[in-house]
Amino acid sequence: MNKKWQIYQTNEEQIEELKSKYGLNELLATILSNRNITEEEQIRLFLNPTRKDFYDPYLITDMEIAVERIIKAIENKEKVTIYGDYDVDGITSITVLKSFLKEIGLETSVYIPNRLDEGYGLNKNAIDKIAKDGCNLMITVDCGISGIEEIEYANSLGIETIVTDHHEPGNELPNAVAVIDNKRKDSKYPFRELAGVGVVFKLTQGLAKRLNLKEEAYLKYLDIVCVGTISDIVPLVDENRVIAKLGLMLVKQTKNIGLRSIINSSGYTKIDSNTISFGVAPRINACGRMGKAKEALDLLLSTDIQEVNELTQKLNDHNKERQETEKAIFENAVEKIEKEKLNENKAIIVGGENWHHGVIGIVSSKITDMYFKPSILLSFEEDGIGKGSGRSIPGFDLHEALMQCLDTIEKFGGHSMAVGITVKKENLEEFTKEFEQIATENNIDKIIPIINIDAKINLNEIDKEMVESIKQLEPFGEANKMPIFAFKNLKIDSIRALSGGKHLKLTLKNNNNIINAIGFNIGHLAEEYLIGDKVDVAGVLEINTFGGVDNLQINIKDIMKSI
């Protein structure tokens, strides 16, 4: 697929000013200029945030009400249940809130819906169980904003609810004691993009302030808050960047033996956002996807090393099972798409019988990446109900599109780029037509994937010190992507496919300068290029350590023949 390279127009005067004023090298100054981080306070906040950079939690709507209600529950020794989601954001949210509340004298029960049987969010059967347990107060984390009926039902059973969430609310807010969600239309909080665990963090901060506790009382959980924030792919800017930057420092010396065990078992030797995204998050998520979310929670709450070791092994086993299941569904879905020519549509909607709906969100993401089209995958059970997940492409708001399909779908929730959805099989054809029409009206086929490139670089300009300096911009993630550079007119010195044809390995040369390059999931290009070909490459600069030796390397994001 053709991709558009969009190279920033550099402001040379500004770059020179940043270099001289703040002692930055050319590369860092260029990247900060490109990202419009040019004022002294902006630069300080981006490169060196501190605990003083958190906003006042009482700027959040309903925070005071929520804090007072929780303090009342402590004083009256009420029965409190934390109701959370089964993904990393949900599990870390429960971990932080349960641990903090225990510290201030409130023991809580936990309810996590089983993804396979109950699906996402609140449900009445769960509320029945919570009521039978004698619960007076339910606190939702990473869910609840769309639970209008369920919270009304809880009210009828004598259960009061505090909602903490970060998802988009509908036109109506739930009738809860307090609704803490910075995406509320009446929110005046300076930042609206906190993850669910970030919202919980603000609640603990509010409680600590109200109880005159030391900052340490809530800051000590920043390692877990950081894991949930990075894993939930929220924009790593503003307060999320403060959470992630400070949190990663704490992860490196974490006292949470469960988190340390996951990291050690993942094989990652250095702690950064990649370790969280690709080492920690998949293992925790795998538990929820396979219907075993409580095992991940138990791991993060455990203080028993033997239990931690056993649970870590279980997480690794669940992750392996998840990978195998995901591979089978992906192959089945691609086969259906190609056979039925669904890839010729503006958007791809594909269903399968009894697909494991714990993993179809990942498969949907892969389908979207493969065809660069919005995709929705549905798993149909014997009752004719299809539960599924959807993923979108930049420029197409999936949540907004589905708001126009309420006549053909049972329910859905999520945001612009990812949703969960339920559709009856009898409505599938009509829903597909309706959604295709919306995709057509939005000119999906005119959206071209864009690679934002920070600068063009010559190989003779690169050294290890320069590449090491890029680490100051970590943690990388949504809205703070790893810098991508363009390298023009390089000669292929060697080329081969790795891992059974999956990946591409090259050495590239310019005059007397030579550099290694790796291209993941583009191994098929080994058949299209020859030694001696001149190519342009867009990629990330990194240091690859192998056998104790450091080598500079380009991680390829796109490659084309030089013109």
Q: Is the pLDDT assigned to residue 407 strictly greater than 70?
A: yes
Tell whether 384 and 460 lie within a shared domain: no
- Boundary (domain end) residue, out of 245, 266, 291: 245
pLDDT at 66: 98
pLDDT at 230: 96
Comparing 223 with 116, the larger pLDDT belongs to: 223
CA dihedral 222, 270, 279, 553 (to 10 degrees): 130
Q: Report residue 212: phi and psi, to 5°.
A: 60, 40
Q: Is 460 contained in some domain?
A: yes
Domain count for the chain, please give it: 3
Cα–Cα distance, 117 to 290 (Å, whole number):
11
**Residue 60 — pLDDT band, cuts 50, 70, 90?**
very high
Q: Is the pLDDT assigned to residue 544 strictly greater than 90?
A: no
Contact at 8 Å (CB) between 459 and 406?
A: no
pLDDT at 1: 61
pLDDT at 559: 95
Q: Is 316 contained in some domain?
A: no
- Boundary (domain end) residue, out of 399, 418, 446: 446
Burial (CB count within 10 angstroms: exposed 0-12, middle 13-18, buried 19+), residue 107: exposed
Tell whether 497 and 544 lie within a shared domain: yes
For 362-382, how does the pLDDT look when each residue is reduced to its tens digit (9 = 90+)?
A: 999 999 999 999 999 999 988
pLDDT at 3: 87
pLDDT at 378: 95
Tell whether 455 and 436 lie within a shared domain: no
Q: Which domain holds residue 61?
A: 56-245
Residue 221 sits in a domain whose CATH number is 3.90.1640.30
pLDDT at 517: 97
pLDDT at 6: 93
For 170-198, how does the pLDDT look when each residue is reduced to its tens digit (9 = 90+)?
A: 899 999 999 999 999 999 999 999 999 99
Helix axes of 257-266 and 281-289: crossing angle, nearest 10 degrees? 100
Residue 426 sits in a domain whose CATH number is 3.10.310.30
Q: Is the pLDDT assigned to residue 541 strictly greater than 70?
A: yes
Secondary structure of 5-39 in the HEC alphabet? EEECCCCHHHHHHHHHHHCCCHHHHHHHHHCCCCC
- Beta-strand (E) ranges in 51-94? 80-84
Tell whether 419 and 347 lie within a shared domain: yes
pLDDT at 354: 83
Tell whether 470 and 400 lie within a shared domain: no
Average pLDDT of the segment spanning 356-366: 90
Residues in contact with 61: Cβ distance below 8 Å, sequence separation at least 6, in sequence order: 179, 180, 184, 186, 187, 188, 189
Contact at 8 Å (CB) between 197 and 229?
A: yes
Q: Is the pLDDT assigned to residue 199 strictly greater than 90?
A: yes
Q: Is the pLDDT assigned to residue 548 strictly greater than 90?
A: no
For 476-492, how does the pLDDT look when each residue is reduced to its tens digit (9 = 90+)?
A: 998 999 999 999 999 99
- Per DSSP, the residues of 471-519 read GGGPSPBTTBPPP-EEEEEEEEEEEEEETTTTEEEEEEEETTEEEEEEE
**Residue 115 — pLDDT band, cuts 50, 70, 90?**
confident
Q: Is 299 contained in some domain?
A: no
Cα–Cα distance, 366 to 358 (Å, whole number):
15
Q: Is 348 contained in some domain?
A: yes
Tell whether 429 and 476 lie within a shared domain: no
Tell whether 480 and 355 lie within a shared domain: no
pLDDT at 117: 81
For 279-319, how does the pLDDT look when each residue is reduced to its tens digit (9 = 90+)?
A: 999 999 999 989 999 999 999 999 999 999 999 999 999 99
Peptide bond into 475 cis (omega under 30): yes
Cα–Cα distance, 92 to 4 (Å, whole number):
38
pLDDT at 416: 85
Contact at 8 Å (CB) between 59 and 192?
A: no
Q: Is 83 contained in some domain?
A: yes
**Residue 400 — pLDDT band, cuts 50, 70, 90?**
very high
Tell whether 137 and 66 lie within a shared domain: yes
Tell whether 462 and 557 lie within a shared domain: yes
Question: How far does CA 471 lie from the centroid of its chain?
Answer: 20
Q: Is the pLDDT assigned to residue 31 strictly greater than 70?
A: yes
Residue 468 sits in a domain whose CATH number is 2.40.50.460
pLDDT at 367: 96
Q: Is 290 contained in some domain?
A: no
pLDDT at 156: 97
**Residue 357 — pLDDT band, cuts 50, 70, 90?**
confident
Q: Is the pLDDT assigned to residue 427 strictly greater than 70?
A: yes
Cα–Cα distance, 198 to 359 (Å, whole number):
25
**Residue 526 — pLDDT band, cuts 50, 70, 90?**
very high
> Which stretch of DSSP H or E encloses residue 130?
helix 124-132
Average pLDDT of the segment spanning 507-535: 94
Q: Is 123 contained in some domain?
A: yes
Q: Is the pLDDT assigned to residue 552 strictly greater than 80?
A: yes
Cα–Cα distance, 547 to 559 (Å, whole number):
28
The identity of residue 76, as a single letter, is N
Tell whether 69 and 213 lie within a shared domain: yes
- Boundary (domain end) residue, out of 179, 213, 245: 245
Tell whether 434 and 542 lie within a shared domain: no
**Residue 270 — pLDDT band, cuts 50, 70, 90?**
confident
Tell whether 121 and 167 lie within a shared domain: yes
Q: Is 280 contained in some domain?
A: no
Average pLDDT of the segment spanning 154-168: 96
Q: Report residue 138: phi and psi, to 5°.
A: -115, 130
